């Protein structure tokens, strides 16, 4: 190889190195510029939207999330910490955090719905349809009261446990059907054999949990109640039996 060819090759190699270094420098400048831009006040959070919350208000969710005002959307928001802070409360089952450019943060929550309260001495243990303990309170909540259970485990955020575990499990199955069938019981008294579900203090439905569930799901109980309401009857006992049969006694047993 001649000396001229060698010189030409060396020059090309130097140019490639120079161009490569220049590209790296440009890339670094672009990255640095982008980082500075993302840190600018243009991306400071000025709107926080809370979605699908019912038990907690928007302001309560934002306070629980502990989001600092006008923090940067990218550098000042730790989604993992927000989720951890919120889901520590038993009422909140799931949380997702979404950034919307240029300055909005969206917090989407999935709450557990309180459906019943178990009487526990002089207190009330509020639970969801899966039996998760949401809170323990001395104030009577506006949900169906469950009586007759001997509780063996009551820890907020965990599933409630009772000596009458089968009866409790079967009773909880009823609540989904109650909501679907638009039926509400003010209280349910549970025993080993049957349950008494009170529509009013003086109007009660009596049967096993499975009979109660079937009667609600097939609409039979709703028909009976509608017939009683049309006749302005608000006292008595509806006795459920196998085969979707029911009888009414105009007094509370």
pLDDT (tens digit, 9 = 90+) per residue, 90-105?
999 999 999 998 889 9
Q: Which domain holds residue 61?
A: 42-111
**How many other CB atoms sit within 10 Å of the CB of residue 163?**
10
| The pLDDT of residue 87 | 97
Domain boundary among 111, 127, 155: 111
CATH value at residue 134: 3.40.50
List residues bridging with 153 in a β-sheet. Answer: 161
Beta pairing, strands 116-120 & 123-127? antiparallel
Over 50: is that where the pLDDT of 207 sits?
yes
Residue-wise pLDDT tens digits, 64-86: 999 888 788 877 789 999 999 99
| Contact of 90 with 156, CB cutoff 8 Å | yes
| The pLDDT of residue 61 | 97
Over 60: is that where the pLDDT of 9 sits?
no
Domain boundary among 91, 111, 131: 111
155 & 220 share domain: yes
134 & 195 share domain: yes
| The pLDDT of residue 37 | 45
106 & 169 share domain: no
81 & 204 share domain: no
pLDDT, mean of residues 126-137: 97
Please tell me the total count of domains within the chain: 2
The H or E element spanning position 136 is strand 133-137
In 21-49, which positions are buried (b, 16+ CB within 10 angstroms) versus exposed (e)?
eeeeeeeeeeeeeeeeeeeeeebebeebe
90 & 125 share domain: no
pTM score: 0.80
88 & 46 share domain: yes
Nearest to 42 by CA among 84, 83, 72, 85: 72
pLDDT, mean of residues 132-161: 96
Residue-wise pLDDT tens digits, 30-67: 555 545 545 556 568 889 999 999 999 999 999 999 98
| The pLDDT of residue 176 | 86
Residue-wise pLDDT tens digits, 10-26: 555 555 555 666 567 66
| The pLDDT of residue 199 | 95
Domain boundary among 65, 94, 111: 111
CATH value at residue 80: 3.10.20.310
| The pLDDT of residue 34 | 47
pLDDT, mean of residues 223-248: 90
93 & 131 share domain: no
129 & 175 share domain: yes
pLDDT, mean of residues 142-151: 95
């Amino acid at each position: 190889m001649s000396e001229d060819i060698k010189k030409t090759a060396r020059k090309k190699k130097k140019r490639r190195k120079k161009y490569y270094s220049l590209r790296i420098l440009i890339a670094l400048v672009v990255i640095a510029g982008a980082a500075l831009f993302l840190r600018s006040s243009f991306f400071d959070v000025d709107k926080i939207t809370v979605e699908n919350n019912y038990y907690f208000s928007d302001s309560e969710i934002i306070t629980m999330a502990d989001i600092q005002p006008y923090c940067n959307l990218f550098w000042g928001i730790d989604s993992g910490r927000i989720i951890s802070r919120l889901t520590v409360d038993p009422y909140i089952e799931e949380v997702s955090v979404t950034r919307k450019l240029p300055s909005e943060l969206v917090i989407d929550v999935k709450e557990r719905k309180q459906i019943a309260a178990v009487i526990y001495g002089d207190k009330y243990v509020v639970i969801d349809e899966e039996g998760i303990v949401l809170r323990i309170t001395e104030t009577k909540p506006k949900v169906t009261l469950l009586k007759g259970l001997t509780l063996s485990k009551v820890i907020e955020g965990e599933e409630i446990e009772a000596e009458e575990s089968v009866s409790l499990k079967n009773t909880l199955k009823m609540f989904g059907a109650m909501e679907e069938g638009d039926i509400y019981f003010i209280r349910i008294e549970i025993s080993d054999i049957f349950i008494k579900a009170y529509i009013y203090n003086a109007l009660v439905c009596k049967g096993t949990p499975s009979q109660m569930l079937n009667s609600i799901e097939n609409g039979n109980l709703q028909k009976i109640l509608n017939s009683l309401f049309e006749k302005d009857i608000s006292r008595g006992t509806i006795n459920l039996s196998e085969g979707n049969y029911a009888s009414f006694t105009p007094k509370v047993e």
